[in-house]
Copies of this chain bind each other. A is one copy, B any other.
Amino acid sequence: MVSKSDKMALERIREFGKQLLEQIKRGESPYFQMPTRTKGNVMFEEGDKTLSLGGRMSTRRFLNYAHTRKFMQSVMIAAATMEYIKSDRTVGKRELYYNLKHSLPNSKQNTFEDDTESGSVLDDLEASLNILREQFHVIAKGRGSIYGDLDLRQAGDEFSCKGLGRGGWLIPGYTEDVEFLNYNADFILAIENDAMMSRLIEEKAWKKLNCLLVTGEGMFPRGVRRFVKRMHEELKLPVIAFVDGDPWGFYIYSVLKYGSIQLAHLSDRYAVPDAKYLGMTMDDIETYGLEHVTEKLKDIDRKKIKEEMQYPWFKHSPEWMRQLKLMAEKGVRIEQQALANKSLAFVAEKYLPEKVEEGKFLP
C-alpha cells in the first residue's frame, strides 16, 4: 500500500527528473531552483505566526563549475530516495551518507565526503521540491515517547499508546505513515523532561486530565515535532507546553510554536502556531511557594534571555517580556521537577489541573 505522503513525494521527484531531462533534450545546461535559506530570507509572518522563507530564490546549474558537485549530489539523493520510498525503507542521515558514498569512476573524487555534505544537499532538495525530509524517507532521530489513550496503525501493526506499563511508545523518526484510529483526549501535553514524563505516567495524569503525554527528552527532535503537528491537525487537539521556567524551556516552546530559523522553509509542517504555554512561569515561584527550590541563573542563561527579548514573538508580547524581565531581575530559574518539593503527587493533583481548568496559559 502506498501512502498519500509517498505518492506525493514520488510524483515530485519524478517531476524533478523530468524537468532536468527536458532541459538536456533542449540542449540546455540542466538547472533547478530553490528558495534561498540564508537568515536574510527568513521572515516572521505576522499572519500565520510562523517563521517562513521570503521570495528570494537561487538557481543550481550543472554547467556552473561551482555548482556541479552539488548538482550531481542532488540528483543522486533524489534517485536514492525514490528507491527508499518504493521499497518502504527509511534511512537515517548518516546511513544515507554511507549508502551513497563511493568514488567516481576514473577519479579519486568521492560522491560525498561527510554527512554534513549530504545533509545540506538534502535540505536544498527539501526546499526545492517542497517536500519534507521524512517524506523522502530520510528520518530524524528516534527519541521521545508518547503515552495516552490513542490507537495507531503503522507498518501493518495496530497498537495502543496506553497500557504500556511505566514506559510508552517510542516515537520513531518516521511517522508520516501513522494512521490515527481511535483516541480519547482533550489536548496534548508536550513535556520537556523525561523524568517528568515518568512522573505523569505513574500518577495517571493522562487519565485524570484526559490528555496525551508527549516528551522529546529536552529539545524536541524533528520527529516528535512532526508527530505532534500531525496529531494537532488531524485530531484537532490543542497543544499545551509544560517545560522548565528558564530560557531553554522558553526556547523549546518557541520552536514548537513558531518553528526554527534552520527549518524556516518547513514551519508550516512542524510549527503549531496556536500552542499555549502552561508553565513553569516566574509567577509559579511565588504562587506555589517554590522560592527555596529555584536555581541561580548562569551567564549563559542571561545571554539567552537577552537574545530571546529580541525574538519578534516575545518582543511584541507584554506577557512574555514580563516573564523574561522577571527572570533577569530575580536572577533565578525554576525547573519542572521543583514541584516535587510540595509532594510527588502535587504536579498531577493540583498544579496541572488548576492551570488547565482556569486556562492559565501564556500565549
Given contacts A155-B166, A159-B164, A174-B166, contact A143 B340 (CB under 8 A): no
- Which A residues contact B (CB, under 8 angstroms)? 84, 87-96, 98-99, 101-103, 110, 139, 141-143, 145, 152-155, 157-159, 163-175, 178, 194-195, 197-199, 201-202, 217, 292-293, 335, 337-341, 343-345
10 contacts between A and B (CB under 8 A): A84-B344, A88-B202, A91-B344, A98-B341, A99-B340, A99-B344, A139-B195, A157-B163, A164-B169, A166-B174
Q: Which residue of B lies closest to A153 (CB)?
A: B165
The answer to whether A169 and B166 touch across the interface, beta carbons within 8 angstroms, is no
Q: State the CA gap A352–B88 with chains docked (Å).
A: 21
Q: How many copies does the complex hold?
A: 2
CB nearest to A91 among chain B residues: B344
Shortest Cβ distance from residue A260 to the other chain B in the assembled complex, whole angstroms: 22
Q: Whole-angstrom distance between the alpha carbons of A76 and B275 in the complex?
A: 41
Cβ-defined contact, B167 with A95, below 8 A: no
Q: Which of B92, B165, B341 contacts A157 (CB 8 A)?
A: B165
Closest residue of chain B to A93 (Cβ to Cβ) is B195
Instruction: Write the nearest CB–CB distance from A289 to chain B, whole angstroms.
Output: 11
Q: Of the candidates B101, B170, B201, which one forms a contact with A167 in the assembled complex, judged by CB atoms under 8 Å apart?
A: B170
Contact A341 to B101, CB < 8 A, known contacts A165-B178, A198-B142? yes
How far apart are the CA atoms of A89 and B172 in the complex, in Å?
28
Considering the complex, give the chain B residue whose CB is closest to the CB of A345: B89
Assuming the contacts A98-B338, A292-B101, asked whether A165 and B155 have C-beta atoms less than 8 A apart, the reply is: yes
CB distance from A82 to the nearest CB of B (A): 14
Question: Which of A139, A154, A163, A165 is most buried by chain B, counting CB atoms within 10 A of its CB?
Answer: A165
Residue in B166, B168, B174, B199 whose beta carbon sits within 8 Å of that of A95 in the complex: B199
| Contacting pair B157 A164 (CB below 8 A) | yes
Q: How far apart are the CA atoms of A171 and B164 in the complex, in Å?
A: 10
CB contacts (< 8 Å) of A101 on chain B: these are 292-293, 341
The answer to whether B195 touches A170 (Cβ under 8 A) is no
A152, A168, A169, A340 — which one has the most chain B CB atoms within 10 A of its CB? A340
Min CB distance A288 to B, Å, is 12
